[in-house]
Amino acid sequence: MGYKQGRFTFRYTGFAFQRGPDGEPEIILKDAETIRMIAQSFLNGDSMQGIKEKLEKAGIPSPAGEPQWTTQTVLRILQMKNMQVTSCFKNLHLGLSGGKGQEE
């Protein structure tokens, strides 16, 4: 119903996004760097286990704030609906266009 009026519920998980001063979703920059690292490692061919170990070695806390990561958490980040890494990888693997990309 709310979708038709342009309204939707945004679930804040405490990782990657927070509610901004205007009430709109706002990116948490330190989490964005972690996501970039995970995505780049994935695109470089690192395994979930390898990415997990890299994050732990770098001392980056998990979304739960723990020093240990799980491979399931890494996979969930790669599969986030607002992350296009896995679909981009599938397109590249199939020889299709990787879609729109923006450089900062």
**Which pLDDT belongs to residue 20?**
83
Q: What is the pTM of this model?
A: 0.66
| Six token digits for residue 63 | 């979304």
Structure tokens at 47: 């395994």
Given this model, what pLDDT does residue 70 score?
96
Give the span between the Cα atoms of 66 and 68, in whole angstroms: 5
Provide block-wise average pLDDT over 10 residues at a time, the chain (104 residues): 58 72 83 90 95 97 93 89 53 43 38
Kindly report, residue by residue over 64-74, the tens digit of the pLDDT.
889 999 999 99
